[in-house]
A and B are shown apart, each in its own frame.
Chain A
Amino acid sequence: MKLTLHVWRQKNAQDRGRMFRYEVPGVNEHMSFLEMLDVLNERLIEKGEDPIAFDHDCREGICGMCGMMINGKAHGGFKGTTVCQLHMRHFKDGDELYLEPWRAAAFPVIKDLAVNRSSFDRIIAAGGFISVPTGSAPDGNAIPVRKLDADLAMDAAACIGCGACVAACPNSAAALFVGAKISHLAHLPQGQPERDRRALAMIRQMNREGFANCSNIGECEAACPKEIKLEVIAQSNADYIKAAFTERPETAIGGAG
């Protein structure tokens, strides 16, 4: 099949950038979306042009590196699918596709379709540690975890940090990502000792990075390749609100610390 692509080209973070049009003939329906871009890039290189920069790593939907807007939909808008797992059979001859990078002040463009998501790393770092004994491996069943909590924690832990939720959100909120990270540990016994400070620190860092608020619109949930639910946002709101109202200065009169 033959496609027409309109791709955001931007040399570097300072460049203004603009959309460029590319005709891509000879696209095989068995290619993945990124393979289609690889083919286009090889042709560009042969012509002596600059290839289109885009992020990717595992290409099997688990690392969270890939991601771009395809016709205004994060990862192309297919249920539970990262763009690396998106196959060209979903498109047809003559389709015209607009490829744009994630748009958010907290995700500055590095080049073309690749954005800098260090803001997510800093939110994770702000979340800090959990107190578990290191050394020899603990007995797997030493701490009982309710089945429902284990399920909810694992569902939240499925977040790969791709940033599609921010990209799809009309507000550029990172609530789904942060909610997934806060919920993940909030459901586990190992996450309890630092639960309050984690919620406070991650929400505050989220705001410092310039992510806006959640309006419970729900575009993130639909865009998330790991199908993280809006429920995690409510969970993180609850944790944050409780922590904010119980936060108090340190005390160590009894000598505990």
Chain B
Amino acid sequence: MSATANLPLDELRFWETSVGKKAVMAVTGVLLFGFVIAHLLGNLQIFESPEKINHYAETLRSVPVLLWGARITLLISVCLHIWASFALWRLQRAARPIPYVKKSNTHSTYASRTMMWSGPIVLAFVIYHLLHFTFGVVHPGGPFDKHNVYNNVVYGFQFWPVSLFYIVAMIMLCYHLYHGLWSMFQTLGFSHPVYTPWLQRLAKVAAILIAAGNISIPVAVLAGFIKPV
């Protein structure tokens, strides 16, 4: 090794190392988490009144700079998050070409070992969700009206297979965040014998609340609490 304290800059760069890619995942994961929270809070207004949520949707559209700013940030985040996850997944596959005949995983959570299942299922969901409620091109169960978000949601969820898919996807999101929400602290360099166990508990609670909040909407529609107007 050279005797200088500085390394040549043409070494593996930040995003070319596994730690760098994980940092990219953690930072984009935080942004996506922020979106999921904001999105949930917006959605829950459906329980107040049809006017409330329709007005909320109008408000979002009335500030195109913010709306498009958020959309572009999210799109970039999703792309980076997925790019890093696939690059790392390929690295993992290459790192153990011969599998064990027997392997027991005893000290890890199911959620942590299935990030590469829960993640892509959530992605599939996000794509369907956009086609379903944003573009309205795959909207079985009733008419789609760009200006009546409330009815779109109610008609959309009255078709039970769609509701079921949403519920399953939210359970996957729950698993993903169950691990991801504390993992990102570790990835970015924060670990503490007292606070990390609390972060893990908080991650569980947050993941379950997010999933439960989102699932409550299709369930309320199917149960007839929320009806079209």
Residues of A within 8 A of B (CB): 6, 8, 19, 69, 71-73, 77, 98, 100, 103-106, 125-126, 128-129, 170-173, 193-194, 196-197, 200-201, 203-204, 206-208, 210-219, 221-222, 229-231, 233-242, 244-245, 247-250, 257
Could you tell me the distance between the alpha carbons of A219 and B106 in the complex, rounded to whole angstroms? 7
Q: Is the CB of A72 within 8 A of B96?
A: no
Give the chain B neighbours of A216 by CB distance below 8 A.
112, 179, 182-183, 186-187
Chain B residue nearest to A250 (CB atoms) is B6
Least CB distance, A145 to chain B, in whole angstroms: 20
Q: List residues of B whose CB falls within 8 A of some A CB.
A: 1, 4-7, 9, 11-14, 16-23, 88, 91-92, 94-109, 112-113, 115, 179, 182-183, 185-193, 196
The residue in B1, B13, B190 that gathers the most chain A C-beta atoms within 10 A of its C-beta is B1
| Apart from the given pairs A103-B96, A230-B186, A235-B191, 5 other A-B contacts in the complex at a CB distance below 8 Å | A19-B101, A216-B186, A231-B192, A233-B191, A234-B185
Measured between C-beta atoms, what is the minimum distance from A103 to chain B in Å?
A: 5
> Given B6, B94, B107, B115, which contacts A222 in the complex, CB threshold below 8 Å?
B107
Total number of A-B contacts with CB less than 8 angstroms?
Answer: 170
Contact of A235 among B11, B22, B189 (CB under 8 A): B189
B186: chain A residues at CB < 8 Å are 216, 230, 233-234, 237
CB <8 Å contact, A72 and B17: no
Q: Are A72 and B11 CB-contacts (below 8 A) given A212-B18, A213-B91, A215-B115?
A: no
Residue in contact with B91 in the complex, picked from A69, A212, A230, A242, CB distance below 8 Å: A212
Is B17 within 8 A of A207, CB to CB? yes
CB-nearest residue of chain A to B21: A213
Can you list 16 A-B pairs, Cβ within 8 angstroms, ordered by A?
A103-B100, A105-B94, A170-B108, A171-B95, A194-B5, A213-B88, A215-B115, A219-B107, A229-B193, A230-B186, A234-B185, A235-B189, A236-B19, A238-B189, A240-B20, A257-B4
CA distance A248 to B12 in the complex (A): 14
Residues of chain B within 8 A (CB-CB) of A206 are 18
Q: Classify the interface of chain B: helix, strand, loop or mixed.
A: loop
Determine the chain B residues whose CB is within 8 A of the CB of A201 once the complex forms: 1, 7
CA distance A195 to B7 in the complex (A): 12
The distance in angstroms between the C-alpha atoms of A122 and B112, with both chains bound, is 30
Q: For residue A241, give the distance in angstroms from its CB to the closest CB of chain B.
A: 6
Contacts A201-B1, A233-B186; A213 near B18 (Cβ below 8 A): yes
- Cα A69 to Cα B4 in complex, Å, equals 41
Residue in A203, A222, A240, A247 whose CB lies within 8 Å of B9: A247
Closest residue of chain A to B103, judged by CB? A72
The answer to whether B6 touches A105 (Cβ under 8 A) is: no
Query: In whole angstroms, how far apart are the Cα atoms of A219 and B192 in the complex?
Result: 18
Chain A residues lying within 8 Å of B99, measured Cβ to Cβ, are: 103
Q: Which 4 A-B pairs have the closest CB atoms?
A: A238-B189, A234-B191, A213-B18, A222-B107
* Cβ contact within 8 Å between A214 and B189: no
Measured in the bound complex, the distance between the Cα atoms of B187 and A238 in whole Å is 8
Contact A217 B91 (CB under 8 A): no
| Known pairs A98-B102, A203-B17, A257-B4; A241 contacts B189 (CB<8 A) | yes
User: Contacts A237-B189, A244-B20 hold; do A105 and B108 have CB atoms under 8 A apart?
Assistant: no
Contacts of B9 in A (CB 8 A): 247-249
